């Protein structure tokens, strides 16, 4: 496993410039919860805080652990950012349910890799986000479970079966320092 610990300043500046909205674009333009905006803001906040992360990676049973500072939080959280459910083609494809402590978005569409998003809340505060991704085609079957608990952990569990190859199982967990 190789970790990139340095990043050019220019690349960081470009990444922060991506946070600017286009003129006329607001949260009102979003049909569903703004995962992309949420995780972009989290990445920016974590970039400034620069916490020491206890990171564990497990690949098919082989485990490695390291303590490190993440050089590029936008890249580190990119799978969460890319799980944006507000793509124009997906408008109306998700069922939205809300209770006092859970906001959920689900789809049954095989064309959409983001199958489920659960936001666990205490009032207006997000305690945990769970995202289920699934892609199935003639070449491979891939299932990902993403978990994010602000200030506590982020985790990616992946199972992938490529045709004519053995199944691969992957787990990456980053633990934030205890307060």
Residue 165, pLDDT score: 85
Q: What is the pLDDT of residue 142?
A: 92
CA angle centred on 149, ends 171 and 152, rounded to 5°: 85
Task: State pLDDT tens for residues 49-80.
Answer: 999 999 999 998 899 999 999 999 999 999 99
Q: Is residue 165 part of a domain?
A: yes
**pLDDT averaged over every residue in the chain:** 86
> d(Cα 68, Cα 45) in Å, to the nearest integer?
17
Q: What is the mean pLDDT of residues 11-30?
A: 42
Give the global pTM. 0.81
Give the range of the structural domain holding residue 116, as residue numbers without chain letter: 53-175
Within a domain: residue 148?
yes
What pLDDT digit, counting tens, does each position of 110-131 carry?
999 999 999 999 999 999 999 9
- Of all residues in the chain, the percent with pLDDT exceeding 70 is 83
Residue 38 sits at φ, ψ, to 5 deg, of -60, -50
Look at residue 2 and tell me if it is in a domain: no
On whether residue 27 sits in a domain, the answer given is no
Has residue 80 been placed in a domain?
A: yes
Residue 68 to residue 41: CA distance in whole angstroms: 21
Q: Is the pLDDT of residue 37 over 70?
A: yes
Q: Is residue 59 part of a domain?
A: yes
> Residue 62: which H helix or E strand, with range?
strand 62-69
C-alpha span between 121 and 128 (Å, rounded): 7
Determine the pLDDT at residue 178.
Answer: 85
The residue ranking higher by pLDDT, 36 or 61, is 36
User: Is there a domain that residue 41 lies in?
Assistant: no
- Report the distance separating Cα 116 and Cα 132, nearest Å: 5
Q: Report if residue 33 sits inside a domain.
A: no
* Structural domain count, the chain: 1
What pLDDT is attached to residue 163? 85
Strands 125-136 and 167-175: unpaired
Percent of the chain beyond pLDDT 90?
Answer: 73
């Amino acid at each position: 496993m190789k970790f990139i610990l340095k990043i050019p300043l220019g690349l960081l500046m470009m990444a922060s410039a991506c946070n600017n909205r286009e003129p006329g674009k607001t949260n009102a333009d979003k049909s569903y919860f703004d995962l992309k905006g949420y995780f972009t803001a989290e990445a920016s906040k974590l970039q400034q805080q620069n916490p020491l992360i206890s990171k564990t990676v497990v690949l098919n049973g082989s485990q490695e652990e390291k303590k490190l500072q993440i050089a590029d939080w936008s890249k580190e959280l990119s799978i969460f950012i890319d799980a944006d459910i507000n793509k124009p083609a997906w408008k109306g494809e998700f069922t939205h349910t809300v209770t006092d402590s859970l906001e959920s978005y689900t789809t049954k569409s095989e064309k959409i890799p983001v199958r489920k998003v659960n936001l666990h809340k205490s009032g207006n505060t997000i305690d945990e986000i769970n995202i289920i991704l699934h892609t199935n085609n003639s070449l491979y079957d891939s299932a990902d479970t993403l978990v994010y608990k602000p200030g506590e952990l982020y985790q990616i569990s992946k199972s992938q079966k490529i045709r004519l190859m053995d199944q691969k199982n992957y787990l990456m967990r980053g633990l934030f320092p205890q307060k």
